[in-house]
Structure 1
């Protein structure tokens, strides 16, 4: 897992008006908490934080260089985005220490091709695991190469990196391989259907 350094500032103003001013200045309001310490209200540089998440994923370990307060290691807990415009409104960060075990969600990437005539449904896109903070896997790959119709793969079938343990229910289905022909023919037939003449409205 990548480690990214970001210079941040402490915030002394609070409330909606202060948050809007922070965002207009190209910063993201954030709160850093954990390990029993008092929460720290921070401003994250918008461009640098967005790039770190885009390039390294939500589980990237952030080294926060807090102006006047030294460095802190943190993980992104929650990102709140504007429901319409999509920009980041607020970020919750949690303190971590080197060697500390943390529980996070890691993306599942399905690779390979199932047997001919099979329809592959990925039922689970990420899995909850426990890992050392500085060694969180970026993703967990699940191969379905050659999987026959009727194959079902569960969380317990995932090959986790050394030092990573499964937290999600091991019986949770990740991939279901079923017969594609029936559903594909039905979809194909429905796509080719044209409405009957008596079904067409004659209203002006």
Structure 2
């Protein structure tokens, strides 16, 4: 299941535009918007420090939060955010309004376990990760924290497809038309080319 929920206090934003946004950031605030659930979007401001801490703590995009807008508590899921490329502070956040029955699309991180039980990796093979996360459709109240891939028994050349992964109840991949690849156990680049085996047979 997803990370613990949290609450942020916000103020409604009357003025919008670049000049207004720059002024907010100078005052330690960031502009944000809450949209969705067939309601009008709400422009808000949030304390920059609080939001940036949540982003860097991990799980930000897969955790349902509550935003208190002048006493009205709105359940949301972060859908997008912008970081300043130079100074690494948050510039803007988009939040999707969610209810108990909302179906949401989230990028769920993939965790790999038992690499020490993989004959391929023990023999020098390399775990080649094709997808670090998988886009999933699930209930807003049951967002998986991560997907687990067990590498036990995998040999060099083996491929892990999504069909090999035990998916949390109620969560389905967005890609449904193929059994896509999550990772492979690849031959290490060193010591495998024909040229290398010809020029240095004694290394085998």
TM band (smaller chain): 0.7 to 0.9
| Aligned match of 1:35 | 37
Q: State the shift of 1:56 in Å.
A: 4.8
Deviation string for 1:141-165 (max 9, x for gaps)?
Answer: 1111231112101122221112212
Structure 2 unaligned regions, length at least 5: 197-204
Structure 1 unaligned regions, length at least 5: 191-204
For 1:172, which of 177, 180, 192 is the aligned residue? 180
| Aligned match of 1:23 | 25
Runs of 4+ off more than 6 Å:
none
Calculate the aligned-residue CA RMSD, in Å.
2.0
| Aligned match of 1:201 | none
Tell me the matched-pair count.
186
| Aligned match of 2:51 | 49
Q: TM-score, normalised by structure 2?
A: 0.84
Equivalents in 2 of 1:128, 1:178: separation in Å? Answer: 24
Equivalents in 1 of 2:96, 2:64: separation in Å? Answer: 10
Does 2:124 align with 1:117? yes
Q: Secondary structure at the match of 1:48?
A: helix
| Aligned match of 1:89 | 91
Q: TM-score, normalised by structure 1?
A: 0.84
Q: State the shift of 1:7 in Å.
A: 0.7
Q: Cα–Cα, structure 1 residues 131 and 178, in superposed 2: closer, same or farther, change >3 Å?
A: same
Equivalents in 2 of 1:97, 1:143: separation in Å? Answer: 33
Equivalents in 1 of 2:175, 2:133: separation in Å? Answer: 10
